[in-house]
């Protein structure tokens, strides 16, 4: 079945550094991928839509200069948290769907837990 | 996309059927009902989806009322590993793949 892989699964870094998270579709192509953020005991909040070969679309209230998204190929999207601060600590999750097959559901990665010290 | 309403929490004994309700009274004719679950510290897992007919797969059954204003996800024989937060989401297939998550139902399966 469709598999979405995220890397790294867990990262700790100092305040002020930038962190890159990768999202890969392993056995299908995805022209669109999605990035979510989840704080403890809360639901997933959609941050942005990553579009292959074009600019990402950000949800209201999400800073595009803070959360840089690149979707350079049909199987890879990256999210870079720039100049990360403790309030950026969260669980970041990506999702994608096999666009080559109709009526397929979104599949999610296992998430990246980001801790900023 | 239509808003959904789910109870915040439910309990179920291991081996019994877990019936998780979802209200989506403002659903449109071309909107599908999707169910996902999230086990602690993992990404959401797709369970099942449907438009108006009842659906069944190896994980669960989805019962959609005739007026499509509500649905029920059925886990026929719940196990401890089914303890998770279950999300009911309504969206238009082929239009946008955005999934807007509500607060879901926290299902606790006990021995």
pLDDT tens digits along A103-117:
778 899 999 999 999
Q: Measured between CB atoms, does A34 come within 8 Å of chain B?
A: yes
pLDDT exceeds 90 at position B1: no
Sign, CA dihedral B2-B5-B10-B13, equals negative
- Tokens 């096999």 appear where? A98
Q: How far away is chain A from the Cα of B76, in angstroms, using its nearest Cα?
A: 22
**Contact B97/A110, CB-based, under 8 Å?**
no
Q: Would you give the DSSP letter of residue B5? A: B
Kindly list the residues from chain B whose CB atom is less than 8 angstroms away from the CB atom of residue A4: 43
DSSP string, A72-100: EETTEEEEEETT--GGG-EEEEEEE--TT
How far apart, in whole angstroms, are the C-alpha atoms of residue B6 and residue B2?
13
Confidence of residue A71 (pLDDT cuts 50, 70, 90): very high
How far apart, in whole angstroms, are the C-alpha atoms of residue B85 and residue B106?
4
What is the percentage of chain B residues whose pLDDT exceeds 70?
A: 95
Kindly list the residues from chain B whose CB atom is less than 8 angstroms away from the CB atom of residue A97: 97
Kindly list the residues from chain B whose CB atom is less than 8 angstroms away from the CB atom of residue A93: 43-44
Among residues A95, A105, A96, A107, the alpha carbon closest in space to that of A37 is found at: A95
**Contact A106/B42, CB-based, under 8 Å?**
no
Q: Measured between CB atoms, does A108 come within 8 Å of chain B?
A: yes
A109 → closest Cβ in B43, B49, B103: B43
CA B48 to chain centroid, in Å, comes to 8
Output A43-51 pairs: Cβ under 8 A, ≥24 positions apart.
A43/B87, A43/B101, A43/B102, A43/B103, A43/B104, A44/A93, A44/B38, A44/B44, A44/B101, A45/B101, A46/B98, A46/B99, A46/B100, A46/B101, A47/A79, A49/B98, A50/A23, A50/A77, A50/A79, A50/A94
pLDDT tens for B13-43 read: 999 999 999 999 999 888 899 999 999 889 9
**Contact B43/A43, CB-based, under 8 Å?**
no
What pLDDT score does A105 carry?
87
B99 → closest Cβ in A91, A106, A113: A106
Beta carbons within 10 angstroms of residue A13's beta carbon: 14
What pLDDT score does A101 carry?
74
- Tokens 């449907």 appear where? B50
Kindly list the residues from chain B whose CB atom is less than 8 angstroms away from the CB atom of residue A104: none
């Amino acid at each position: 079945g469709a598999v979405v892989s995220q890397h790294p699964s867990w990262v700790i870094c100092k305040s002020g550094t930038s962190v890159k998270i990768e999202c890969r579709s392993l056995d299908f192509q995805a022209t669109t991928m999605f990035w979510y953020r989840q704080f403890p005991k809360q639901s997933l909040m959609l941050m942005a839509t990553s579009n292959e070969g074009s600019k990402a679309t950000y949800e209201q209230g999400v800073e595009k200069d803070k959360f840089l998204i690149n979707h350079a190929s049909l199987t890879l999207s990256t999210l870079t948290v720039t100049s990360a601060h403790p309030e950026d600590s969260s669980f970041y999750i990506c999702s994608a769907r096999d666009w080559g097959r109709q009526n397929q559901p979104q599949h999610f990665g296992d998430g990246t837990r980001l801790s900023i010290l | 996309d239509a808003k959904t309403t789910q109870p915040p929490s439910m309990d179920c004994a291991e081996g019994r059927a877990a019936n998780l309700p979802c209200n989506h009274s403002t659903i449109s004719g071309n909107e599908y009902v999707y169910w996902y679950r999230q086990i602690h510290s993992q990404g959401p897992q797709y369970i099942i989806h449907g438009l108006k007919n009842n659906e069944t797969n190896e994980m669960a059954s989805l019962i959609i009322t005739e007026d499509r204003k509500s649905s029920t996800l059925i886990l026929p024989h719940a196990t401890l590993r089914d303890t998770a937060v279950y999300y009911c989401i309504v969206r238009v297939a082929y239009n946008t793949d955005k999934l807007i998550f509500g607060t879901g139902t926290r299902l606790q399966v006990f021995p």
